[in-house]
């Protein structure tokens, strides 16, 4: 198992290529890197978390294929290199072809240097709310237009918008809208129960 002090020393010397290789060699873990180069290790998802992630991703894919909105869906394994240098893997994402084609072509086989228009993070019991909320703010600061923080244990959703507004909705007996970012997309929160 990787020791925390070893990871701290690696962060200062790891190139983008080395970080990608490190992630591939430790594919049993979910790995992100923050804007300071610190490596963040997350255990694989439990069944319920995986089920919820799959439901949201499946609904996004279905909407994307049905409406042909000019973009692509990413799952929780999709890594984005953000403008601040962080490498993040939201639980679900959607990125337009416009942003995809603006990214360096060589980055598409690794952690693409692009910012998706939409992301979602689904909190499980083992996730820290403060950490996820900080990630949500980071996504918006880097150019995400719409973000959903779905707090399963807290039974609430925070909707983050590009203008800095954060709206909170309590309870899972409602439907979320993709607004103008994902025109026509709706997600029934019953899938998060």
| Residue written as token pair 């089920």 | 51
pLDDT band at 15 (very low <50, low <70, confident <90, very high): confident
Buried/exposed 131-170: b ≥16 CB within 10 Å, e otherwise: ebbebbebbbebebbbbbbbbbeeebbbbbeeeeeeeeee
Q: Once rounded to an integer, what is the mean pLDDT over residues 113-133?
A: 94
Alpha-carbon gap, residue 32 to 193, rounded angstroms: 27
Alpha-carbon gap, residue 135 to 150, rounded angstroms: 13
pLDDT in tens, 127-174: 899 999 999 999 999 999 999 999 999 999 999 999 999 999 999 999
Contact 84, 35 (CB under 8 A): yes
pLDDT band at 37 (very low <50, low <70, confident <90, very high): confident
pLDDT in tens, 162-172: 999 999 999 99
pTM: 0.90
**pLDDT of 87:** 96
Distance of CA 20 to the CA centre of its chain: 17
Closest to 193 in 3D by CA, of 48, 8, 39: 48
**pLDDT of 59:** 96
Instruction: Examine the pLDDT at 81 and tell me if it is beyond 60.
Output: yes
Highest mean pLDDT: which range of 66-75, 122-131, 181-190: 181-190
Neighbours of 101 (CB within 10 A): 10
């Amino acid at each position: 198992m990787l020791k925390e002090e070893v990871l701290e020393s690696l962060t200062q010397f790891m190139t983008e290529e080395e970080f990608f290789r490190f992630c591939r060699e430790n594919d049993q873990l979910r790995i992100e890197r923050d804007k300071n180069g610190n490596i963040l290790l997350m255990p694989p998802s439990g069944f319920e978390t995986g089920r919820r992630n799959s439901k949201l991703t499946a609904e996004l894919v279905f909407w994307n294929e049905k409406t042909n909105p000019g973009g692509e869906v990413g799952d929780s394994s999709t890594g984005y290199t953000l403008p601040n240098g962080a490498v993040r893997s939201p639980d679900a994402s959607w990125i337009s072809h416009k942003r995809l084609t603006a990214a360096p072509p060589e980055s598409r086989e690794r952690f693409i240097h692009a910012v998706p228009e939409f992301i979602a993070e689904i909190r499980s019991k083992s996730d820290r709310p403060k950490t996820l909320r900080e990630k949500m703010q980071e996504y918006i600061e880097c150019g995400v237009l719409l973000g959903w923080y779905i707090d399963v244990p807290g039974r609430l959703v925070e909707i983050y918008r590009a203008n800095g507004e954060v709206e909170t909705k309590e309870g899972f007996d409602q439907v979320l809208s993709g607004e103008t970012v994902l025109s026509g997309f709706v997600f029934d929160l019953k899938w998060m129960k």
